[in-house]
Chains A and B, each alone.
Chain A
Amino acid sequence: MNKTLTVVSVLIFSCLLASATEPKMAPKFSLMSANNEMVYLDSVLQKGPVYMSFWALWCKMCIKELDAIRPYYDKTYKAKGLQVLAMSVDGPKSVARVKPFAKSHKWDYTVLLDTDQKVKELFQVRAMPSAFIINQKGEIVYVHTGFKLGDEKQIAKELDKLFEASEN
């Protein structure tokens, strides 16, 4: 047990060390979209920076978050080239309802189907909703976990920072 704890501690320390020295690169992935197209993160990043949020039909707060950022995206960030990936982690049981739900909520986002949660696992998502801002170099520059009314302003500030940095 002590040995296990030692190894675990060292691994955690290693990760912290790594995260302190270098911005973390987003893992590469490809997923099928709700519009039946294969989407590669690399190709999306060529179009612009990415706001990626993991959500599910059962997750009220996730839906609130994607609803809340919609006005900001529609009015400001869409024109600046932001790509929003709404990563549905609904399993085979409920995946049939994802596309009509997203469309009727007027989400002009790319909805991706992470049915077996492989990408959720790659990004180490442990709480829902979890959102990531990824710059065009593929670096994760901001992580937001959970959602409360008002968090969308914080997210917008981070997006402003990202676009300011890319303009400079």
Chain B
Amino acid sequence: MRRLLPLLLVGAVAYAADLTIGGSNRAEYWLFRDSLDEHFEDKLNLVANYGSLTGKAALFVWDPSRPKNPYHYVNYSIGYEHPALSLTYGHFYQVFGRGLALNSFINEDFRHEMVIRGLLAQTRLFQTELTALSGRPRELFFEENAYVIKNDTTDQLRGADLTTRLIPHFHPGVRYLRINRQQDTTLWKKAFDELYGGGAKAFFGPFDFYGEYIRRWGYEPATERRLEGDGIYASGNISTSFIGVTGEWLDYDTLGSGGFGYRYNEPPTPNRAGVSVNRGIDETGYGVTVVLSPVEKMSLEAARTDVHDTPNRHGVDEWVGKAKIDPSEKSSTEWGFDQSTQRKIDIKVEKKVENKPHFDITYSPDLLHSIEFGAEHNWISADDKDYAEWAAYVGVGRSGLVSLVFRYERRSKTISYLGDEKEWKTLELSWDITETHNLRIKAGNEKGGLNCSGGVCRWERPFDGIKAVLTSQF
């Protein structure tokens, strides 16, 4: 039967007229220069549609050189889609509102995902959408050059989200999530977390407002009492063809729900560095972004964010300024200045201040070939150490075929906790083999450090060697 299965698949694909299959594959290989260690991973995604049915499969293999233990998984789902109803059984991602109650996601660039395996049902009737789910989460994270599962995969998630658009210019919604734990050592048998609340979107003309409040009833085995917390997030926009303004404000207190090093909710943080102070435990702050287009071919952007804990011991504040000017259709330039102060974000540094001007210029004489170059200079003050890092790159390319980029980075002096190296050079070739197949090969050394995205940070080791990535879509 197993031997027949592939034949059946081929037959089904080739002869079923209404069946369409699409897919993609990403294969990645690294070779570390000094240790000659290898990293290999491959992810094949397939999506099949047959009428109202959709089947998805993701086959992931991570097979590094020994002695590391390899890891692989198969994610699958089968779904039924109708304008009024959709059902998905298998692995899925789902966000409630802005993620204060639930944020299940995949971030392939950051090699981080929180997937749920179970049942997802959605109804859409009378301009009202009801989403209900039940399943078990798995958070996969890449750190220290290895994939690890961060959460307790015996946890259960059950929840529902109801949002209506019945009222013109006002879309309210309510949501509830319950996290059941397998281990319950409490006398009162309440080893579960509940998150519930609601939000609303209001809009008229160029104005948009969004607000969400979520309350958390968790549990604390040590004190045998229910842990209470809440979080509020609000944003407002003005959107015109001349100016765009976004204001965000947040206040989270014991809202982050999950466990050590992982969360099932991920409330938003407005900062550009992707840093969350403590992932919803005690955070308050705001962010303001202004985007201006005073004349054609020019846009200006300025942002100010400040997020910190209540005693204001941990925090991130930023100033960001950016100007994008396209002098002609053959050239494009971007100029910027970023200033950030991080207090007790990196466990190795008490206070870190960075001031970074940067620019990028791209020029294409014939709109076929192009040359790009850019540079940045970063003045860094980390506790009692003052140093600078700068980087420059130059690249050439031919539209739709190939590009070659050389990047050079330098640190003004050795910083003990960052390693002994002071100089990094990489050469990267990107070749579009066809419209849907791309090969990238990078050789050289890259600096490590704290890398953050979506409120999650990881410490990346320096790399020296070769990386090759083959991406295909079919």
Chain A positions near chain B (C-beta within 8 angstroms): 3-4, 6-8, 10-19, 21-22, 24-25, 27-28, 30, 36, 38, 40, 60, 64, 67-68, 71, 91-97, 99-106, 115-118, 121-127, 130, 142-146, 148-154
**Does B381 reach chain A (CB closer than 8 Å)?**
no
Contact present for A15 and B22 (CB under 8 Å): yes
Please, which residue of chain A has its CB at the minimum distance from the CB of B12?
A14
Contact present for A13 and B106 (CB under 8 Å): no
Contact present for B397 and A148 (CB under 8 Å): yes
Query: Which residues does chain A contribute within 8 Å of B310, judged by CB atoms?
Result: none
Please, which residue of chain B has its CB at the minimum distance from the CB of A139?
B20
The CA of A85 and the CA of B370, in the complex, are separated in Å by: 27
- How many B residues touch A, CB cutoff 8 Å? 98
The CA of A124 and the CA of B24, in the complex, are separated in Å by: 6
Report B42 CB to chain A, min CB distance, Å.
8
Query: Which residues does chain B contribute within 8 Å of A19, judged by CB atoms?
Result: 21-22, 474
| Known A105-B293, A151-B399: A14·B21 in contact at CB below 8 Å | yes
Interface segment, one of B141-149, B177-185, B242-250, B383-391: B242-250
Contact present for B436 and A14 (CB under 8 Å): no
Residue of B10, B403, B438 near A14 (CB, 8 A) is: B10
Contact present for A103 and B244 (CB under 8 Å): yes
Contact present for B23 and A15 (CB under 8 Å): yes
Contact present for A150 and B435 (CB under 8 Å): no
| Known A148-B399, A149-B332: A25·B20 in contact at CB below 8 Å | yes
Contact present for A91 and B9 (CB under 8 Å): no
Query: Which residues does chain B contribute within 8 Å of A15, judged by CB atoms?
Result: 13, 21-23, 46, 474
Please, which residue of chain B has its CB at the minimum distance from the CB of A93?
B268
Residue of B26, B171, B370, B473 near A143 (CB, 8 A) is: B473
Report B256 CB to chain A, min CB distance, Å.
14
Residue of A104, A121, A148 near B299 (CB, 8 A) is: A104
The 4 closest A-B pairs by CB, nearest first: A100-B244, A104-B244, A150-B399, A10-B6
Query: Which residues does chain A contribute within 8 Å of B241, judged by CB atoms?
Result: 103-104, 106
| Known A91-B105, A92-B103, A118-B93: A99·B367 in contact at CB below 8 Å | no
Report B102 CB to chain A, min CB distance, Å.
10
**Does B334 reach chain A (CB closer than 8 Å)?**
yes
Report B85 CB to chain A, min CB distance, Å.
12
Residue of B203, B435, B474 near A145 (CB, 8 A) is: B435
Report A52 CB to chain B, min CB distance, Å.
14
Interface segment, one of B54-62, B223-231, B421-429: B54-62
The CA of A100 and the CA of B240, in the complex, are separated in Å by: 7
Query: Which residues does chain A contribute within 8 Å of B378, judged by CB atoms?
Result: none
The CA of A16 and the CA of B437, in the complex, are separated in Å by: 13
The CA of A7 and the CA of B268, in the complex, are separated in Å by: 40
Query: Which residues does chain B contribute within 8 Å of A104, judged by CB atoms?
Result: 239-244, 291-293, 299
Q: A40-B83, A116-B93 are in contact. List 15 more A-B contacts (CB 8 A).
A: A11-B44, A14-B10, A19-B22, A68-B329, A91-B105, A92-B268, A93-B99, A93-B266, A99-B239, A99-B244, A100-B239, A104-B299, A125-B24, A150-B367, A154-B399
Residue of B97, B269, B291, B326 near A100 (CB, 8 A) is: B291
Please, which residue of chain A has its CB at the minimum distance from the CB of B265?
A92
| Known A13-B10, A91-B454, A93-B268: A101·B47 in contact at CB below 8 Å | no
Contact present for A116 and B94 (CB under 8 Å): yes
The CA of A30 and the CA of B124, in the complex, are separated in Å by: 11
Most buried by B among A40, A100, A148: A148
The CA of A126 and the CA of B120, in the complex, are separated in Å by: 24
Query: Which residues does chain B contribute within 8 Å of A8, judged by CB atoms?
Result: 44, 59
Contact present for B99 and A92 (CB under 8 Å): yes
Query: Which residues does chain A contribute within 8 Å of B6, judged by CB atoms?
Result: 6-7, 10-11
Contact present for B20 and A22 (CB under 8 Å): yes
Contact present for B362 and A149 (CB under 8 Å): yes
The CA of A12 and the CA of B47, in the complex, are separated in Å by: 12
Report B93 CB to chain A, min CB distance, Å.
5
Produce 1/0 per residue, B443-474, CB < 8 A to A. 00000000000110000000000000001011
Query: Which residues does chain A contribute within 8 Å of B436, judged by CB atoms?
Result: 143, 145
Contact present for A150 and B95 (CB under 8 Å): no
**Does B355 reach chain A (CB closer than 8 Å)?**
no
Please, which residue of chain A has its CB at the minimum distance from the CB of B247?
A96
**Does B30 reach chain A (CB closer than 8 Å)?**
no
Contact present for A145 and B49 (CB under 8 Å): no
The CA of A16 and the CA of B25, in the complex, are separated in Å by: 12
Query: Which residues does chain B contribute within 8 Å of A64, judged by CB atoms?
Result: 332, 362
Contact present for B399 and A71 (CB under 8 Å): no
Please, which residue of chain A has its CB at the minimum distance from the CB of B403?
A148
Report B304 CB to chain A, min CB distance, Å.
13
| Known A104-B239, A104-B241: A21·B246 in contact at CB below 8 Å | no
Contact present for B235 and A24 (CB under 8 Å): no
The CA of A64 and the CA of B370, in the complex, are separated in Å by: 14
Contact present for B454 and A93 (CB under 8 Å): yes
Query: Which residues does chain B contribute within 8 Å of A144, judged by CB atoms?
Result: 435
Query: Which residues does chain A contribute within 8 Å of B83, judged by CB atoms?
Result: 30, 40
Contact present for B44 and A12 (CB under 8 Å): yes
Contact present for B370 and A149 (CB under 8 Å): yes
**Does B132 reach chain A (CB closer than 8 Å)?**
no
Query: Which residues does chain A contribute within 8 Å of B104, judged by CB atoms?
Result: 116
Please, which residue of chain B has its CB at the minimum distance from the CB of A10?
B6
Contact present for B81 and A28 (CB under 8 Å): yes
Query: Which residues does chain B contribute within 8 Å of A68, judged by CB atoms?
Result: 329
Please, which residue of chain B has its CB at the minimum distance from the CB of A28?
B81
Report B116 CB to chain A, min CB distance, Å.
11
Contact present for A96 and B49 (CB under 8 Å): no
| Known A13-B10, A36-B171: A126·B473 in contact at CB below 8 Å | yes
Report B131 CB to chain A, min CB distance, Å.
11
Report B120 CB to chain A, min CB distance, Å.
10
Produce 1/0 per residue, B230-262, CB < 8 A to A. 000001011111111110100000000000000
Contact present for B269 and A12 (CB under 8 Å): no
